[in-house]
Amino acid sequence: MTALRTLLTNSPCDAPKGAGMSTRPAYYSGRGAIIDDLNGSKLETLYQGIKAGEETGEYPEGASEAFVEMVIAMPELSATSFLKTLFRLEKNNWTWDPSLVDPSGVDLGSDGEDAGMMSFFTAFSATGSRRDETDNIRNPFLWKRGRPTPRKSRRDTYHSYEE
């Protein structure tokens, strides 16, 4: 298991601390961007783990900043899109490129389990009604970094207000 996958899966009670997430994007597929799956605390835990890994040489210098840039650039922070984009960032040697963003929020799984088909049906049955709590996920993390928060260009689907 890679250091990143260990950082993702370890529960917050373990040492080193982890985010307590599944490493399978399909697990979260089709659920939208909800704080039950991903939140500012999990982003902070991952950031701190990557930052610590930079100091030990486990991650290249600049990896934690690339992680922040990724969080800023993602239009929707569903756990599925987040994980797929994070794994692409890791494969890209922690060099941020906006083309790494996976905006689909859908992953059918490649492990041959029934979860892939369930994800497929969940994703397409919820089309147009997915929750989007991206601002609630991203903003507390960015505020800690002193970074500006991106403005959404469309209506937030969880809170019913217009920008």
Domain boundaries, the chain: 3-145
Average pLDDT over residues 110-118: 51
Residue 89 has pLDDT above 80, yes or no: yes
* Closest CA relative to residue 43, chosen from 146, 137, 135: 137
From residue 135, alpha-carbon distances to 5, 10, 38, 43, 47 in Å are 25, 25, 11, 13, 18
Extract the tokens encoding 123: 């994703």
DSSP 8-state symbol, 132: B
pLDDT for residue 103? 72
CB neighbours (10 Å) of residue 2? 11
pLDDT band at 157 (very low <50, low <70, confident <90, very high): very low
> Alpha-carbon distance 117 to 113, whole Å?
8
pLDDT single digits (tens) 8-20: 876 554 434 578 8
Handedness of CA 49, 55, 58, 61 (dihedral sign): positive
Residue 102 has pLDDT above 80, yes or no: yes
Least confident of 58-67, 77-86, 151-160: 151-160
Residue 158 has pLDDT above 50, yes or no: no
> Alpha-carbon distance 115 to 60, whole Å?
34
Contact 143, 149 (CB under 8 A): yes
pLDDT single digits (tens) 21-80: 888 888 888 888 999 999 999 999 999 999 999 999 999 999 999 999 999 999 999 999
- Give percent of the chain above pLDDT 90: 50
Extract the tokens encoding 66: 């690339």
Could you identify the residue written with the tokens 């997915």? Answer: 130
Residue 162 has pLDDT above 50, yes or no: no
Least confident of 35-49, 59-73, 94-108, 137-151: 94-108
